[in-house]
Amino acid sequence: MPTARPRREDYSESTRQALVDSAVALFTKQGYAATSLDAIARRARVTKGALYHHFSGKQAVFEAAFGAVERAVLAKLGQVVAGPGTPWDRAVSGLQAYVQVCLEPSYQRIAIHEGPVVMGWERWREAEEHFSFGLVKGAVEALVEAGEIDDLPVEVTARILFGALQTGAAIIAGADDPRKAGTDVSRTIIRVLEGMRVAGHDGGAPTGNAQPAQPAASLLRKLRG
């Protein structure tokens, strides 16, 4: 019996959203293993029964939280990389925006650190394809297409760059002086990018902007829920 006002009067969707919000908050603060379903439900002012009505289990709750965090990030970054300028400019500004996003504790913990462990690496990778990694990959593809960087294998280059970005974000998040760490990381990664630039190339002609991959797949629907 919920002591406060019964949630029943609200809509089901609101309850589900409250559960997701609760999960994001608790997973971010305590991590997946240390967060109980009872705690998640209690914070949303419902019981475990309600939780199991909306989700098939703890992992499903995590994936919903993961999806919520990723969609928020995607909304923030989508504008930046789709903005004006050359592919190179957009890549650099997107990079800086991403580093900024990575300071969000929820993204750090849920999407980057615990995501692969809880969801399994393969599934996590598949999901990431449609979210932040999709943006990075699109940016790299645009750079190659524009002849800005050497024609390395796109997939591998994008993944490695993605890994470097995540590590950079982790550095910033754990640093004593996040501001200084932020500039250090940005400088270093941009230096890496410049190192991969084709010799004598310093700003090519703009090309059509590359959209991230098609959404498709039932996984997407689950994460979108």
Which residues of this protein are in contact with DNA, per CB under 7 A?
1-2, 6-12, 15-16, 35-39, 41, 46-50, 52-54, 56-59
191 lies in the site for its own copies, by CB under 8 A: yes
- Exactly one of 36, 117, 215, 224 binds its own copies (CB under 8 A); that residue is 117
Contacted by 41, from its own copies, DNA, none: CB < 5 to 8 Å by type: DNA
The least distance separating its own copies from the CB of residue 73, rounded to whole angstroms, comes to 19
Among 103, 164, 219, 220, binds its own copies (CB under 8 A): 164
Residue number, 35 or 157, with CB nearest to DNA: 35
What are φ and ψ of residue 149, in 5° steps?
A: -120, 160
* 96 vs 167 by CB, closer to its own copies: 167
* Smallest gap from residue 134 Cβ to its own copies (A): 16
- Of these partners, its own copies, DNA, none, which one is at the site of residue 52 (CB under 5 to 8 Å by kind)? DNA
User: Which of its own copies, DNA, none is residue 160 near (CB under 5 to 8 Å by kind)?
Assistant: its own copies
Range 115-118, long-range pairs (CB < 8 A, 24+ positions): 115/66, 117/32, 118/32, 118/59, 118/62
Smallest distance from DNA to CB 5, Å: 9
43 is a site residue for its own copies (CB under 8 A): no
C-alpha span between 121 and 130 (Å, rounded): 15
Q: Which residues bind its own copies (CB under 8 A)?
A: 31-33, 113-114, 116-117, 121-122, 125, 150, 152-153, 156-157, 159-164, 166-168, 170-171, 174, 181, 184-185, 187-189, 191-192, 194-197
